[in-house]
Amino acid sequence: MDIGFIGMGIMGCPMALNLLRKGHRLTVFNRTPERCEEVVAAGARRAESPRECARGNAVVITMVTDSPDVNAVIFGPAGAAEGASAGAVFIDMSTISPDETRVIARKLSERGVAFLDAPVSGGDTGARKGTLTIMVGGEREVFERVKEVFEPLGSRVTYMGPSGAGQVTKACNQILCAVNLLGVCEAIALARSAGIDPRRMHQVVTGGAANSWALEQLGARILSGDYSPGFKIKLIQKDLALVLDAARRLRLPLAGAALANQYFRSNEAHGEAELGTQAMFKVLERLGNFSLEGET
């Protein structure tokens, strides 16, 4: 297919490369132009605006940070909506508000353009390997029409329901990511503070019922002192804000998500928003007055 792809960040760049490897023809745009260089070198065409990125393409994918960013690249000056042909399909793979998703879908529909919300899970590793989990909302017929676009990107692609359903599913995913990570950090903190080898503890419990992706992957990063971002704290905080806003409107208590949000807020207060989410462990170190490698 002819695809426009807007957003060449940590996730978008490897996703675009996977589409190129499968033979799709790509036009790419990023608000920081130099981030397009790797994809252009691999065979994509660089656009100078979202409007140019959308022009002539059957599918336009957006992978940016938040609801205002999606609106800006679609409906802002020289936005993608201005360049879209009637019958085109826009696929937003960002994580944004379900309510905002429905508004975007309605506004594009008025222009004769279909819209799918298709947020992803799997981090930068899944983006590079093409093994993302993709949760899709929108009209089923539109999903079936462009399903082949998702195949190079994810190993599990699931249609979830009408517009916004993909984003609600992603919100559920982010609750689990945040609360699982809190459990990982607390387990390592207890092992260290009680005087047992946290690495040996990690080796043991990854073989039992307590195992999880967060324990295997992020736990290992904590133990090696690696706080580089696969997914940044500032981004999980954006997602948890969406979760807690939805919970407020539904009058639904989500104490675990709220606690994780507060721990990450401590990270932000200490200038750690650009670190990976596993840096939540630093909050436990400060609260417990210990260091993983130093004296308790």
Q: Is 238 a catalytic residue?
A: no
Half-sphere exposure of residue 247: CA atoms within 13 angstroms, side-chain side: 16
Pick from 31, 14, 25, 23: which is nearest to 93 by CA?
14
Q: Give the three-class secondary structure for 63.
A: coil
Pick from 217, 212, 205: which is nearest to 179 by CA?
212
> How far, in Å, CA of 168 to CA of 147, rounded?
20
Catalytic residue among 107, 170, 234, 238: 170
> How far, in Å, CA of 63 to CA of 232, rounded?
15
Q: What are the CB-based long-range contacts (under 8 Å, 24+) for 146-149?
A: 146/1, 146/58, 146/59, 146/89, 146/91, 146/116, 148/1, 149/1, 149/3, 149/19, 149/24, 149/59, 149/61, 149/91
Pick from 248, 242, 246, 274: which is nearest to 261 by CA?
242
Q: Give the three-class secondary structure for 210.
A: coil
Rg, C-alpha atoms of the chain: 20
In the numeric block, which tokens belong to residue 240?
Answer: 């948890």
User: With contact defined as beta carbons under 8 Å apart, do 131 and 152 qualify?
Assistant: no
Q: What positions carry a catalytic annotation? A: 170
